[in-house]
Structure 1
Amino acid sequence: MPRYEQIADDLRERIHSGEYAIGSTLPTYAELAETYSVGRGVISSALGVLEREGLLRIVKRAGIRVLDWRVQRRRISRGQHIYRDPRRGYVGPAAASPDEPWDTHGKPSAGYEPAPERVAEFLDVEPGIAVLRRRRVTSPAGEPAFQIVDTWLAPSAVRDAPKVAEPSTGPGGYLDRLEEAGHGPMSWREYGRSRLPSREEAGLLDISPESPVFELVWVGTSHSTERVIEVTVRVIPADRVELVSDLTRHETAQWPVRPVSS
């Protein structure tokens, strides 16, 4: 076994045993190199293994911090139904039951930010143009930040429903305000992919920039204009989520197997 893997195994065991507690800081590169009698490059390779596993976050000038590796993996059932919660408005497949309490980390925000290229493509605007973004970071109660939820709203949607630009949009949320302004009933398409987080996303979720995230994008279309008016991007650490779908038989796959006619 290469020396860096041996060191990674030893550090992993120390983290899991609690010798290096969650939230604590590991010794410096120089101290680790002296402890294991190896060069800085070997230590860097060992720490890289643990960082990709989500055990560590290495921050310049802040040290090597131990992350919470005990966070439960949550299952998200993928269906095709949009539900309505009397308290929250529209909800889709999620990682929580309607009655499960969730926390908000930091203060939700609403302001104009440059539209990322993918969002701009969905909204049919120039990349980098200032678009209204609503952001919140949430998690199940008592757990570390689980997801970043960014909702980007088309300029036309904001003109039609100015309330969506306010921090509190009232009962039913911003979707009710859009539909009341003449865009209902809206329809949605969902996109999912894995990728690496931006440095900002890694900071908000308190994960390593080397740890993949899962991105779920809801693209909402106006019934009246048939144009995309909102794009909601959910970013979740990939090691904290598992997607589950029920598969159904197509008519061509019915049992018993139909005999093939000659």
Structure 2
Amino acid sequence: MPTQYGQIAADLRRRVKQGEWPPGTALPTQTELCEEYGVARATMTAALNQLQGERLVTGVRGQGTFVLDWRPIRVSLPRYPAILEPEGHAGAWETACQQAGAAGSMVTVEVAHERADVDVAEALGLTEGTDTVIRHSRHATLNDSTCQVHTAYYPAHLIEGTPLAGQEKVVGSLYGAMRAAGIDPASADEHLSARPATADEAAEFTLMTGFPVLTLDRLTRDQEGRRVEWLRMVIDPTRVMVTYDGLPPTWPARKSPLHDFARYK
């Protein structure tokens, strides 16, 4: 059964999303809200804390509680064709942010050469502890705050000597860089799930401890069927919406090339 503060939070959430208080505007004071809902201050504080944890509002000391721009960036399945060209200057996340008129970027945290562990070896069809992979750790940011953590693995023998193996930020998309290196991404399998955030993830995303995050694993193959990339994303669902728009009622029996995803828009 919903708690009293949970019911109040649900009603305030509804009012915010219906536009009663647009982004950037202040909610009524806690005193005014307590009078309106007929509750004690502690109950209203709990309700507002819940909305802060959902990133709908933020408290400013001495000024009040303000509505945030709560609308998440939409990243859709047909995002690949626009980022496949080697001369492209933006990846899927940067493209989605540009389309939404938001300030988003992809920041390279680390590029490392390492032995494949059990999970990476299984995903890429390599030998655990023997075969070498190149790991790209990157953060997708929105208004300079991290909202996605990307960890991508590539078989080292495929990309040694290419920009993908270097320490510099890859301009544009990693897929575009793969094509420039002679690796042609052709198909991808994605698996989306949710779980509670770890303590490190909660700190990185500035979420409440235990708040749910999305995890998306993507395995990419080239035209020859080789496994060329395994990407694991951890996503803050309050700021990112993964969408699969315009899919056909039944998926074609054959494996659909990434180049053909545009027809599902």
TM bucket (normalised to shorter chain) is: 0.5 to 0.7
Q: 2:141 is matched by which residue type in structure 1?
A: S
* Paired residues for 1:1-262 under 5 Å: 5=3, 50=50, 53-54=53-54, 71-79=70-78, 82-84=81-83, 86-88=87-89, 91=92, 95-97=96-98, 100=101, 102-104=103-105, 108-112=109-113, 118-125=119-126, 126=128, 131-140=133-142, 142=143, 144-159=145-160, 161-168=161-168, 171-172=171-172, 174-184=174-184, 186-224=186-224, 226-242=225-241, 243-248=243-248
Task: Return the offset for 1:212.
Answer: 1.2
Task: Return the offset for 1:94.
Answer: 6.8
**Root-mean-square deviation (CA), in Å?**
4.7
Helix, strand or coil: the match of 1:191?
strand
Alignment CA distance shift 1:166-1:116 (3 Å) = same
Alignment CA distance shift 1:144-1:116 (3 Å) = farther
Q: Determine if contact 2:198/2:210 at 8 Å carries over to the other structure.
A: no
Could you list the runs of 4 or more consecutive aligned residues of structure 1 that deviate by over 6 angstroms after TM superposition?
A: 7-13, 127-130
Q: Determine if contact 1:169/1:177 at 8 Å carries over to the other structure.
A: no
Structure with larger Rg: 1
Q: 1:156 is matched by which residue type in structure 2?
A: H
- Measured in 2, the distance between the counterparts of 1:173 and 1:247 equals 24
Helix, strand or coil: the match of 1:156?
helix
Q: TM-score, normalised by structure 1?
A: 0.57
Helix, strand or coil: the match of 2:178?
helix
Q: Determine if contact 2:88/2:176 at 8 Å carries over to the other structure.
A: no
Gaps of 5+ in 2: 13-25, 31-40, 56-64, 251-265
Gaps of 5+ in 1: 21-34, 37-45, 56-65, 251-262
Write the deviation string for residues 194-213 of structure 1: whole angstroms up to 9, x where unpaired.
22233333222222341111
Q: TM-score, normalised by structure 2?
A: 0.56
Tell me the number of residue pairs that the alignment of Structure 1 and Structure 2 aligns. Answer: 211
Same amino acid, percent of matched pairs: 18
- Measured in 2, the distance between the counterparts of 1:178 and 1:105 equals 17
- Measured in 1, the distance between the counterparts of 2:238 and 2:158 equals 35
Report the equivalent of 1:255.
Answer: none
Alignment CA distance shift 1:203-1:158 (3 Å) = farther
Task: Return the offset for 1:52.
Answer: 11
- Measured in 1, the distance between the counterparts of 2:130 and 2:199 equals 18
- Measured in 1, the distance between the counterparts of 2:177 and 2:198 equals 31
- Measured in 2, the distance between the counterparts of 1:216 and 1:249 equals 23
Write the deviation string for residues 48-86 of structure 1: whole angstroms up to 9, x where unpaired.
x9499546xxxxxxxxxx9x9754323333338522364
- Measured in 1, the distance between the counterparts of 2:157 and 2:220 equals 13
Alignment CA distance shift 1:92-1:82 (3 Å) = farther
Alignment CA distance shift 1:50-1:128 (3 Å) = farther
Q: Determine if contact 2:124/2:155 at 8 Å carries over to the other structure.
A: yes
Alignment CA distance shift 1:123-1:53 (3 Å) = same
